[in-house]
Structure 1
Amino acid sequence: MAASVSGRDLVLEALLMITRDGEYSHIVLKNILDTHQYLDKKERAFITRVVNGTLERMIELDYIINQFSKVKVQKMKPVIRCILRSAVYQMRYMDSVPDSAICNEAVKLAVKRGFSGLKGFVNGVLRTISRKKQEIVMPDREDKESYLSVIYSLPKWLVGHWLKEYGEEAVEQMGTAFLQAAPTTVRLNLNRMEKEDILKLLKEEGVTVSEVPGMPEALYLSGYDYLAGLPSFREGLYQVQDQSSMQVAKLADPQPGDYVIDVCAAPGGKAIHMAELLKGSGHVEARDLTEYKTQKIWENVERSGLSNISVVCQDALLKTEASIEKADILIADLPCSGLGVLGRKPDLKYRVTKEDLTELQNLQRSILQVVKDYVKPGGRLLYSTCTINRGENEENAGWFAENFKEYHLVSRRQMMPGRDGGDGFYIAVFQKENHE
């Protein structure tokens, strides 16, 4: 796009790519911000906030638009739908711009995109919503599924699923957490530099820093414009990793000289954490399915400066004979429904279906049947997912212990958004019997 492109043009472009073309929100946003680095910090923050906010609240936004529009949201042209959603999000959740300006900008966008015949419709719907803000009616609280679905913008089937599995209080807790603005969580590479020195550097770079309770090796970062623009990031002084995900390496408890295989490692956070904990000893083999994913791991490994880690492009469903009984620790952080990370990847909740949950549960079992043979007698296997779904978590851990008697379940943890401070995450630690 031309250099004169506005933030609102880019918001619309991003929302179309995500909701119409099915692209992933975190990738679309990163590409747009990387391509338009000349935009000032305020404009970039506006783009990020409106795109993520519109996606996070989309079910609620559609519910409101449908109250005041004769044409229902699903019948609208994708461009008009995206314009209305992002405008209603700004009117409802951003005080910095007056409603009248939001309406005018929305009409201009419709015209610019070739829909001048619908400018009256866009204007009419938005001005009615602006005028009747106090008359918006939410679903009756008695209808729990509909109410929680709209209030927290969660698909109704998912609300029903979680109500059965975890209860109303947990759904409200998670729903609230997913809608809160979250800082970036990083894990410090304390082998490279003392924590005090890293803190000093970050403050010099203008980054807002706060501590992660109970985790001295982690920090929350906010207030920066562009992470890759920070020298401290480029020098590999920290890796972006959620605090829940950091528990994997901590529970694995690697010992000097251990050989570790991480079978689905991208983007590499857990594998790099393990290599750091080994303090230059042993070796970590970080594997993933595609060149794209292994490239992501390599980028993070190169920044970390670690030499006791290698990256391999390998399908976890295909057994490698050379790996049998080679690993002291095997990390199986497997493909999952991702329901624990909806706060960071809001478009996921509109993609995942009930059928996906069963398919993924079966895929996880298929991978576990292959990779279990890579663990040495006496070694450990860590099964983890970034989801909140008993089928993929407790049920699969139970199935594994039941079917492979050489493994004993040592511990398991389900971390919940809003309760445990990080992403929703599940970890089960298994110990393999020692033949001797």
Structure 2
Amino acid sequence: MFKRLCLALALLAALPAQAFETRATAAWVYDVTTHTVLLDKNADTPLPPASMSKLMTLNMLFEALRDGRVTMDTTFAVSTKAREMGGSKMFVEERDRPTVEDLIHGIIINSGNDACVVVAEGLGGTEADFARQMTARAKALGMNNSTFANSSGWPHPDHKMSVHDLGILATRLIEEFPEFYPYFAMTGFDYKNRVPSNAQNRNPLLQLGPDGDWTADGLKTGHTQEAGYGLVGSAVQKDGRRIVFVLTGLASEADRAQEGEQVTNWAFRQFVQKTMVKAGQRVAEAEVWMGNAVKVGLVPQKDVSLLVPALTQDGITAEVSYTGPLTAPVVAGQPVGELVIRVPDMPEHRVPLVAEGDVANGGFRARLTTAAQVLIARFQQEAPTS
């Protein structure tokens, strides 16, 4: 029998947070710490990503480093195609043999289209083959609205990403490759004294410094005439709470800088992180049949922490659901149900619940009692009503 118990959470209750009215064509804001989507505007629409898609080239290179196919000191050849790439560059020439570390700097800081082609040809043989590998890998990682025609984001009708996919990718780079993530906060790299000052890291949030409520530390800007100005950004507060956001389709560099700062302030100041239930805290009890106890506590195994709007009133509801009564034996830690917490205008939060302790078989007396309870319940259901 499916059981549903409504609970009163005397912790916090919330008014809806004021929505962020972005000027971006598409936007996605994600609280990494609590796995909460805060803003979704056209987030799954495939759009030209410009240089923001270089993050996928970096992902492929980081995976090659992790798998041992290359090291930071591995050198790559530079083709004429790479050297002749237009747009943003790290200014490699055919005689150069840049290391993997040079190329990581060149892609992140200089947004080098030439560096991307060097990596693509070094890992994939040809840029076309590498682009096909990028597309297949993106699909495997759950980025279903991404198709790559090249390694750099150079305009092409078949080169598209959604801002949601870019957010998934940014979160992956932060969480899966912490040893490489500090490169995204670097602002200057001059390969062999060839790189002009205007070819340095264009992420406007990196220039704000660490003195405010939060510190920005990544990830990538993008701009083409078709895509407009875009930014994949991430920032972290002193308590460790982190957000990732993606904006695209803005009209100017100034708009990108202002919108990036404003959306970060909004995400950190309109929402607060609260621990709703502690790990091991009993939130309900489930009935147990044929055991040496008639009930067992239901508890979460981890602290239940989620975001709520900063302004609070009545509104949060919580509910426990499980299929029961449970049948003994029950083992401590056994999954038995879930806690569902609903905050107005926020995603539903579902938390697995486990048995708080063991309930052993109760022997003959418990089985006899349970059989009697079943018979009484059946009789009550079948008895005619007057």
Band of TM-score, shorter chain: under 0.3
Q: Calculate the TM-score normalised by the size of structure 1.
A: 0.22
Query: Which structure has more strand as a fraction of its residues?
Result: 2
Structure of greater Rg? 2
Higher helix share: 1
Q: Greater relative contact order (Cα 8 A, min sep 6): structure 1 or 2?
A: 2
